[in-house]
Homo-oligomer: A and B are copies of this chain.
Amino acid sequence: MPELTYLEAIAQTLRQEMERDERVFLIGQDIGAYGGAFKVTNGLQEAFGEWRVIDAPLSETAIVGGCTGAALMGMRPIAEMQFADFVSCGWDQIVTVAAKQHWRAGTPIPIVIRLPSGGGFAGGPFHSQNPESSFAHIPGLKLVCPATPSDAKGLLTSAIDDPNPVLFFEHKHLYRRVRGEVAESRFTVPIGTARIEREGNDATLVTWGAMLHLAVEAADALVEDGASIEIVDLRSILPWDRDAVLASVEKTSRLLVVHEDTRTAGFGAEILATVAAELFEHLDAPPRRLTAPDCPVPFAPSLERRFLPQVEDLVTALRELLAY
């Protein structure tokens, strides 16, 4: 299988889906001739024309609402937020209109919103956020956070297929840093299904997005301690794979959730709450979270290093968990 970067996997999927299905179109700022702020859509306007790769004004509300309308008329719109952070400007259209319309009116809203998210490159408070937790509280949305090129492709394909609004969080820090084998032909990865990145017996580490790669490093480090960590790559936040998480924790009896988003009311809370309620008898240690602290994402590298969970932090947290 060919090796692709995370970004190439997304770009390939967009192209394949546009070739396959005339209803698919892209809309966003600077995604046409410029190819998007991260060049994910490079060359697509040339290939498909300016009515299938639409340069939108600086209008997140018009973009999201426009996708909703186009979807109602039978299209399969894919919006790009220039940075995930700017989705706050389309918040109302997503939570008030798109998320509730099928339940209220029976009309599906098959839209995909692509959200380049995450920190690690001094992007500061408004170019680094992981806004998935706020949306996780909104019934009617689906949220996916792929960590690997192959999952990026499979989940994006599923998102486009899905008759519901899907927020596709693509981690900017992975775009060009992560490579992996990706099947050339079309395939889907079901939304709502976690992936066991590595099996283990001593503790379960649940994570998603860029943190998955830190989790792997941390688990590697723990091997030296003689500990085997099971890593669950959640992949989807809404719906999330409760069964996979519960099965893993039932086996290991220990849980650490790691996320890049901030702590309070972050999605880690939902996982801990569920595990605590469902597996009360099975836990050998208190379930724990390792997350960013409760503040905006800082710009200065000295602060951002402190803000973002680091491999060492994961190692320490796992050791503490195992030592309990």
Residues in chain A within 8 A of chain B (CB atoms): 85, 88-89, 91-92, 95-96, 100, 103-104, 125-126, 133-134, 136-140, 238, 261-262, 264-278, 280, 283, 285-289, 294-296
Contact = CB atoms under 8 A, between A and B. Distances in A.
Given A92-B89, A103-B295, A137-B133, A277 B289 contact: yes
- Protomer copies: 2
Nearest to A89: B92
Contacts of A276: 272-273, 275-276, 286-287
B137 A125 contact: no
Contact of A125 (B100, B126, B134, B273): B100
24 contacts: A88-B92, A88-B95, A91-B91, A134-B137, A136-B265, A137-B137, A137-B262, A137-B266, A139-B264, A139-B294, A139-B296, A238-B264, A265-B265, A265-B269, A269-B274, A272-B273, A273-B273, A273-B276, A273-B287, A273-B289, A275-B276, A277-B286, A278-B286, A280-B286
Contacts of A137: 133-134, 137, 261-262, 264-266
Interface centre among A92, A139, A264, A287 (most CB of B within 10 A): A264
B267 A104 contact: no
A277 B273 contact: no
Nearest to A284: B280
A273 B287 CA distance: 8
Contact of A270 (B96, B126, B264): B264
Given A100-B296, A139-B294, A272 B268 contact: no
A278 B125 CA distance: 30
Contact of A277 (B100, B138, B288): B288
Nearest to A137: B265
Contacts of A125: 100, 104
A251 to B, nearest CB: 18
Contacts of A278: 286
B104 A296 contact: yes
Nearest to A238: B264
Contact of A265 (B96, B133, B275): B133
